[in-house]
Structures are given as C-alpha cells and as structure tokens.
Amino acid sequence: MSDRIVMYSFTGITIGEARFPDISPFNVKLQAYLEASQADYTVVTLASKETTPNPPKGKFPFVKLPNGDLLPDSQIIIERLEQGKDAKDQLDGWLSQEQLAISNIIRGALDEKLYFILMYTRYVEEPIVHKLINKIMELVLPWVPECCNFILRSVGKYYRSWFVRSCLKGQGIARHSPLEVRKMGVELLKSVEELMSSEGPFFHGAKLSLVDLVIYAYGNTCKLHLAAAELTPDSVEAFYETSQKLRRHYQHMDALLTSKLLSKVQTSLEIVR
C-alpha cells in the first residue's frame, strides 16, 4: 500500500504565456495545501490517461488516502489531514482564537459567496466557459467520431452554460444585475483587504496559514479570467489585480507555490483568447 495521497482534479490551463494549475479554486486550494504542508502526493487530472474513480459526492476535488479511502471536498480533506497532526505542526496552530475566527469568516465568504460571483463572470456575464468547454469535452469524449464529437461539443457547450446559469439563479446570485454582482464582489474583497496585515507578506503577518491558500486560490481564478477575456474595469477580477495588498499577497504566494503546483500537473489544455 502506497503512503502517497492521490489528488483527483480537472486539468491545468494554458492561455498564451500564462499557465494555471486548474480551472477550479477548490482544486487549487487543496493542491496548494498539499504542497505547503509538504505532503507526499500526486495529481491525476481528467486530461491524464489514468483511470479516475467515481467522485464521492459527485464533485472535484477528491483524494485517495494511503489506506485507500476516497475523501471528497477540499475543506473536509484539509481538516481531516490537519487533524492527524500535532497542534504545533498544523498550519493554523500558531494563530490566536481571534485570528482563527477571522480566518474562518474569510474562508466562508470566499468559498460560499465569492466563488458564485466568479462563476457568474465565467458563465453569465462573460461566458468564458465557451472557450473551455470544447477542450474539456475532448477529455471525456476522446473515442467519439469527429462528426458526432462536434455535435456533442456544441450541444454540451450550451447545455453546460444553461445548466450552470440555472444553478446560479437557484443559488440567487444570477437574479442580480451584472453591476450589482460586481459591486458585491468588490465590496467583499475590500473587506478582505482591510483585514489583511499591513506588514505581510501573509494574511496574518510573517507566517503562512490556511487562509492564505484560500485567498491565493481565488486570486488564481481571477488571473485566469483576466487572461481569458476582456473584463470591465469595475470587475471583481480587475479590483483584485489593482488592490495593493491583494496583489502583493498573490505575488508572494505565486512565487512560493505556483511553479511547484504546475510541476505536479502534467497535463494542460491550451486556450486561445
């Protein structure tokens, strides 16, 4: 039995000279955690030729633990792995109770609100998904004849966009106007920026903690969207790019992690802007 953790995710993305570890912030968050905690792990993507088990709870990412158990959900996985460590070795082990509370609030705001705002950008306001879907369909339908493949990709593109729009409407974010959604996202990021340490380079100051990995993951998604399409100057992504604290934080995390993440993701889909 291997002691290595196997992480299952989507795929890397290449847009021009820019490379991204994954299209999902949850996948990036989990891989960033595995890297930051110096875990022994490997990444299996949909673009690789390896067999992927059925995802528990039907979503990515998930991992296969050394004992063979499949564990879903980036946050559940991180909490499970952290619980197996001594307190002094946990990434949040050095934080005060107040800092832990702030970190949990920030993570919840990003995972449960900013995620849907960014998906609104991707699927509703600026359908970046149309640039990704053909490539993604090629991963799951490599055996389909070209004539059928074209039809399935075309139908899949619009079905996926319609399905996600319906989900976002059910969640609530797609019931707002683009201007209202952008304002919500910018105000949320302003709050994150206000709570960040002015000393840096990390959110709470001189040491890395779990909230840094969450902020980095959403910064990665913002960067991907900016590379894939022309967005309005008042977009959430544009604010992230121009915010002094957030930009400085991302630059530091990027230098610390991105090349290591990319080295573990052996496959990357090339998207033409």
Q: Nearest CA to 220 among 7, 75, 15, 71?
A: 15
Separation between Cα atoms, residue 178 and residue 173, nearest integer Å: 10
Check residue 80 and give its pLDDT. Answer: 95
Tokens of 155: 């139908």
Place of tokens 């570890």: 21
Beta carbons of 20 and 219 less than 8 angstroms apart? no
Q: Which residues contact 123 (CB under 8 A, 6 or more apart)?
A: 129, 161, 164, 165, 168
Bridge partners for 184 per DSSP: none
| DSSP assignment of 52-69 | -PPPGGG-S-EEE-TTS-
CA distance 151 to 170: 28
Torsion over CA: 229, 46, 4, 104 (sign) = positive
Maximum separation of any 2 CA atoms in the chain, in Å: 60
Q: Kindly give the residue spans of alpha helices, DSSP state H, lying in the chain.
A: 25-36, 74-83, 97-109, 115-120, 129-140, 146-171, 178-195, 210-228, 236-242, 244-253, 259-264
The sign of the torsion formed by the CA atoms of 157, 121, 181, 258 equals positive
Q: What pTM was computed for the model?
A: 0.89
> pLDDT tens track of the chain, all 273 residues?
568 999 999 888 888 888 999 989 999 999 999 999 999 999 998 877 677 888 888 889 999 999 999 999 999 999 999 998 998 899 999 999 999 999 999 999 999 999 999 998 888 876 665 555 555 555 544 444 445 545 545 555 555 667 777 888 888 998 999 999 999 999 999 999 999 998 889 999 999 999 999 999 999 999 999 988 888 899 999 999 999 999 999 999 999 999 999 999 876 666 655
User: How many Cβ atoms from other residues are within 10 Å of residue 83's Cβ?
Assistant: 8
Q: Please report the pLDDT score of residue 88 as a whole number.
A: 87
